[in-house]
Structure 1
């Protein structure tokens, strides 16, 4: 099969298309023909050498595709189904024509492969973070990075749960954030004052999906770090804030399926910024690194 194979870690150019062995599904696994793979900041870190992966490696942490084969213990009727989920190995990922997975959900009719692949990590991480924050109807929640895949999923889940959302994003994304049902607030200097102006009754909790320095402002707004969670800032402990990373032990396909069903019903927005063929995976990484994607970046193997 063709895959973007990393033989040494470093700059985007290390993503080189090459032939790689097609994986074989083991017990509990499905082999999927990958039709779309989301591109995430964590994959940029992995490509650069984080996570101590061993070369050769195929990265890509979320996918949508079609089941071609199943391993022992998996219902044979799944063959031919459209699925979205997580590859089982961080080094046998979705930047490839095939991947294997034991954690996935089926894709409902009316949802494209690109939309499904763009939803997996965002919906799962957002739902987990809102649970950690113990979000309740009537709360007022600040979400930073509200126009991104993680942030927009958090906004939409929170709004559906009766929460008022202050969505922090760039001014060019204000209309999009407002379309999700949030009150848009521009990031940057003066953020504390702008949040307070948008929420004169106060703020109950905050979720950081941006990871570009807003934690001190969020701590100031809330008067402490207790009801703040970040999905993106690994320096969170400096501010007493909880950091929550997605990993194989906490991934949940249920909120992914909830979001996909809402997409099919026309009640959920997923924004695709740009799609790249597998041969241009390096360019996809370069675009994500700019932070100005205006939607999820997708690789089409």
Structure 2
């Protein structure tokens, strides 16, 4: 069995594809044939050592946090009705490998026939983060919310959740993604590459910011040019606002098992849409991570096994 292994803190380029021992099912676990894992900032920030203060790890490790796949074997005390089912789940010990051995828990979710495994792979680390942040910012009708990094795997879900609450959404992004973001559901678009200050000052109605980028200089520009502002970041733990009528907080809050089931149902009902930018073979992880980190995203990049 092959896995994507991190052996150092030298970054993306030092990842290795290695053979590892085959896994054996436990009494309360399931062996799952991995189909997709999402490419997440969580991975490459771990690979550079950036997260060592909040996520200490002993190398080498298998990278990855979530997955989608098909159950191939269950333990003697596990639910045998999972056999052959499509599922999504998480593992703190890494998921970027051809087979995952996962304890049966409330955080292993089955997918209906009309939600694909690729769509399912965008939920954990995407839809859940977006929903948690939207709840924390207490978005409601009448608010105008600016989203940074709106075209990514989290931002595209944020737009959709906010529109369900009748919020006016302004997407901040690269001009090549303008049409994409408006198609996702954003009401307006701000181009961060040109006259950003003037564009911000033309929207004094913005009263909340959801930040998925984590660039202090960008948040400083936003803070300096807007008033009465609440900023919530999913990427930057600390930031000092420039005005007394502004607040900042960092969030990585969880959602409950029932919330995941509702998101899956919303995908099934076409109330939500999973935006996938590109799918790479898992052996091309270095290329996939570099594109995800350095390009202007339009949804989530996935690795296929």
- The alignment's TM-score, normalised by the length of structure 1, stands at 0.86
Q: Distance in 2 between matches of 1:119 and 1:203?
A: 28
Provide the residue aligned with 1:97 in structure 2: 98
Structure 1 residue 294: Cα displacement: 3.0
Provide the residue aligned with 2:248 in structure 1: 241
The alignment partner of 1:63 has SS state of strand
The 5 Å alignment of 1:261-276 reads: 261-276=265-280
User: Which range is displaced more, 144-153 or 275-284?
Assistant: 275-284
User: What do the CA deviations read for 1:138-162 (whole angstroms, capped 9, x no partner)?
Assistant: 3221111111111111110010111
What residue ranges of structure 1 are gaps of 5+ in the alignment? Answer: none
Q: Distance in 1 between matches of 2:111 and 2:200?
A: 37
Provide the residue aligned with 2:196 in structure 1: 191
Structure 1 residue 65: Cα displacement: 0.7
Structure 1 residue 25: Cα displacement: 5.4
Q: Distance in 2 between matches of 1:251 and 1:216?
A: 29
Provide the residue aligned with 2:38 in structure 1: 38
Q: Distance in 1 between matches of 2:77 and 2:192?
A: 49
Maintained 8 Å contact 1:147/1:173: yes
Provide the residue aligned with 2:21 in structure 1: 21
Q: Distance in 2 between matches of 1:73 and 1:130?
A: 38
Structure 1 residue 48: Cα displacement: 2.1
- Backbone CA RMSD of aligned residues: 2.5
Provide the residue aligned with 1:291 in structure 2: 295
Q: Distance in 1 between matches of 2:201 and 2:112?
A: 40
User: What do the CA deviations read for 1:68-118 (whole angstroms, capped 9, x no partner)?
Assistant: 33457642212221111222x1xx322101222532322122222222112
Structure 1 residue 131: Cα displacement: 1.2
User: Which range is displaced more, 156-165 or 288-297?
Assistant: 288-297
The 5 Å alignment of 1:89-128 reads: 89=92, 92-99=93-100, 100=102, 102=105, 103-128=107-132
Q: Distance in 1 between matches of 2:69 and 2:110?
A: 10
Q: Distance in 2 between matches of 1:77 and 1:129?
A: 34
The 5 Å alignment of 1:135-214 reads: 135-182=139-186, 183-188=188-193, 190-197=195-202, 199=203, 202-212=205-215, 213-214=217-218
Structure 1 residue 243: Cα displacement: 1.2
Q: Distance in 1 between matches of 2:130 and 2:181?
A: 16
The alignment partner of 1:260 has SS state of helix
User: Which range is displaced more, 16-25 or 208-217?
Assistant: 16-25
Q: Cα–Cα, structure 1 residues 186 and 72, in superposed 2: closer, same or farther, change >3 Å?
A: farther
Structure 1 residue 268: Cα displacement: 2.5
The alignment partner of 1:33 has SS state of strand
Is 2:66 the counterpart of 1:62? yes
Provide the residue aligned with 1:232 in structure 2: 235
Maintained 8 Å contact 2:147/2:209: yes
Structure 1 residue 195: Cα displacement: 3.6
Maintained 8 Å contact 1:124/1:253: no
